[in-house]
């Protein structure tokens, strides 16, 4: 049995890449045997199996998450406190052959891993998503920036670390080389994607072309540049609808949300959907002609692959992790995702039917790495990891 730390995912309906990866590990869509989820109960101060409410949230892959924060119910808090006072032993799976820390864990969880490690017979590994708080602190909440160096140091207690992209791998390996000291081996095991249940046909040929952008509304996702690009195109007479999907991150979303409201008030064909469940998002993918993912920095860039998996070309950055995602084809990758470059790229895919059809055909023909592939490769790598920590 391989245990998966789902502490945050079992208390949040967020649909970021971290939560999607964790959910696909513990509740795979292909019906194969799932890894066993556990949580650190900070009120019980113990590791335990998920209760029914936590299991429902952890398995709710179709939920439309509206907040990244973990929410513990009053009942869960009181149960944990009373159990700790009474000295009750928490429910816990039998001894496990391995452990996966798939989330970015807080200080309390990082300190509690030592208790858990003693109950794992084999390797203890972690998944590394990105180094954005370190490399781009201007796009990161101050508390996360302050916590991040300690988090990177706490990763050293694991027997191995699997980064979700080569870009993330290089960032972590580079930091540890610079910092010095003993560090576990790091490998790049690229994340996966959930392909559509049914193949997507061509986009609708009637009506106004729809352009889709999927991603959390926050500074680094660069919605401001996309909105400026769209505004300039509409002012020049371009004919298209822009659909934006994603919940706003309070710390940095305000400018983009304000601009969205300005454009809508001016009568521009802009639709902001907020957060959607799986069915609602799938409808948006099928309705769009292509997607735009203007993010400046990513750990993996899941929406790029989601677009390609549905035969929808994606305009994105050619730099970093999104550049890795674009390398397989089906994307119009830009050296700069400034408003002028984005506007030019959108216009090209609206007006140049030959280039658009070439990218669409390339996207359809491109092999897509699924979550089943990721689970298989992660499990295979875990089988090679030597237990080096005490």
Share of the chain above pLDDT 90, in %: 77
Q: Return mean pLDDT, the chain.
A: 92
C-alpha 121/C-alpha 33 separation (Å) is 20
Instruction: Determine whether domain 210-365 maps to CATH 3.40.50.2000.
Output: yes
> Residues 98, 120: contact at Cβ < 8 Å?
yes
Helix (H) or strand (E) holding 22: helix 17-26
Secondary structure (H, E, C), 315-350: EEECCHHHHHHHCCCCEEEECCCCHHHHHHHHHHHH
Q: Give the model's pLDDT for residue 61.
A: 53
Q: Give the model's pLDDT for residue 196.
A: 86
Question: pLDDT grade, residue 390 (50/70/90)?
Answer: low
C-alpha 367/C-alpha 308 separation (Å) is 9
Q: Name the residue with higher pLDDT: 30 or 125.
A: 125
Q: At residue 359, what are phi and psi to the nearest 5 degrees?
A: -65, -40
Q: Give the model's pLDDT for residue 68.
A: 67
Q: Give the model's pLDDT for residue 178.
A: 94
CATH value of 2-192+371-382 in 2.40.390, 3.40.50, 3.30.200, 3.30.43 = 3.40.50
Longest dimension (CA), the chain: 71
Tens digits of residue pLDDT in 53-102: 999 898 875 444 556 678 899 999 999 999 999 999 898 887 789 999 99
Q: Give the model's pLDDT for residue 13.
A: 83
- Domain ranges within the chain, ordered by starting residue: 2-192+371-382, 210-365
C-alpha 356/C-alpha 177 separation (Å) is 43
Q: Give the model's pLDDT for residue 43.
A: 96
Task: Please enumerate in sequence order all residues whose Cβ is within 8 A of that of 233, keeping only pairs 6 or more positions apart, or say none.
Answer: 240, 343, 346, 347
Q: Give the model's pLDDT for residue 304.
A: 96
C-alpha 216/C-alpha 312 separation (Å) is 20
Task: Please enumerate in sequence order all residues whose Cβ is within 8 A of that of 378, keeping only pairs 6 or more positions apart, or say none.
Answer: 25, 100, 162, 189
Q: Give the model's pLDDT for residue 67.
A: 60
> Residues 311, 95: contact at Cβ < 8 Å?
no
Mean pLDDT, residues 14-40: 84
Mean pLDDT, residues 331-346: 98
* Residue among 310, 316, 315 at smallest CA distance from 285: 310
Mean pLDDT, residues 356-384: 94
Burial zone of 62 (CB within 10 Å; 0-12 exposed, 13-18 middle, 19+ buried): middle
C-alpha 19/C-alpha 247 separation (Å) is 14
The lowest-confidence range among 51-55, 194-198, 210-214 is: 194-198
> Is the pLDDT reported for residue 249 higher than 90?
no
Rg of the chain taking only CA atoms, in angstroms: 22
Q: Give the model's pLDDT for residue 204.
A: 86
Q: Give the side-chain half-sphere CA count within 13 A for 297.
A: 17
Backbone dihedral region for residue 237 (phi beyond 0: left; psi -120 to 50: alpha; all else: beta)? left
pTM value is 0.92
CA 226 to chain centre: 20
> Is the pLDDT reported for residue 45 higher than 70?
yes
Alpha helices in 87-165 (DSSP H): 107-117, 132-135, 142-154
**Do the two domains 2-192+371-382 and 210-365 of this chain adopt the same fold?**
yes
Q: Name the residue with higher pLDDT: 285 or 15.
A: 285
Q: Give the model's pLDDT for residue 16.
A: 83
* Residue among 322, 309, 321, 281 at smallest CA distance from 373: 309
CA geometry: angle at 239 spanning 272 and 245, to 5°? 20
The lowest-confidence range among 37-41, 194-198, 357-361 is: 194-198
C-alpha 37/C-alpha 282 separation (Å) is 27
Mean pLDDT, residues 185-199: 90
């Amino acid at each position: 049995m391989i245990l998966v730390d789902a502490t945050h995912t079992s208390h949040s309906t967020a649909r970021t890449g971290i939560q999607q990866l964790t959910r696909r590990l513990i509740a795979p869509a292909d019906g194969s045997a799932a890894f066993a989820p556990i949580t650190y109960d900070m009120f019980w101060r113990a590791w335990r199996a998920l209760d029914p409410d936590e299991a429902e949230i952890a398995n709710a892959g179709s939920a439309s998450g509206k907040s990244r924060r973990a929410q513990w119910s009053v009942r869960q808090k009181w149960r944990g406190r009373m159990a700790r006072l009474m000295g009750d032993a928490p429910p816990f799976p039998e001894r496990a052959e391995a452990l996966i820390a798939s989330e970015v864990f807080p200080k309390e969880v990082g300190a509690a891993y030592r208790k858990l490690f003693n109950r794992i017979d084999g390797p203890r590994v972690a998944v590394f998503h990105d180094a954005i708080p370190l490399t781009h602190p201007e796009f990161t909440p101050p508390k996360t920036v302050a916590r991040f160096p300690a988090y990177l140091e706490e990763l050293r207690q694991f027997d191995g670390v699997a980064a979700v992209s080569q870009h993330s791998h290089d960032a972590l390996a580079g930091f540890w080389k610079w910092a010095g000291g003993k560090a576990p081996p790091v490998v790049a095991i690229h994340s996966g994607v959930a392909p559509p249940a049914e193949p997507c046909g061509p986009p609708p040929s009637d009506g106004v072309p729809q352009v889709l952008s999927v991603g959390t509304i926050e500074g680094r996702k660069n919605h401001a540049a996309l909105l400026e690009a769209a505004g300039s195109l509409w002012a020049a007479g371009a004919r298209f609808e822009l659909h934006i999907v994603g919940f706003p991150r309070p710390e940095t979303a305000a400018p983009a949300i304000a601009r969205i409201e300005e454009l809508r008030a001016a009568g521009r064909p802009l639709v902001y959907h907020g957060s959607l469940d799986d069915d609602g998002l799938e409808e948006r993918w099928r309705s769009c002609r292509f997607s735009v993912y203007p993010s400046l920095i990513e750990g993996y860039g899941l929406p790029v692959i989601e677009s390609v998996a549905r035969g929808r070309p994606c305009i994105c950055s050619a730099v970093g992790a999104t550049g890795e995602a674009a390398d397989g084809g089906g994307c119009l990758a830009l050296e700069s995702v400034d408003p002028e470059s984005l506007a030019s790229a959108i216009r090209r895919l609206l007006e140049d039917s030959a280039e658009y059809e070439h990218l669409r055909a390339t996207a359809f023909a491109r092999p897509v790495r699924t979550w089943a592939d990721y689970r298989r490769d992660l499990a295979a790598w875990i089988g090679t990891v030597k237990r080096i920590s005490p």
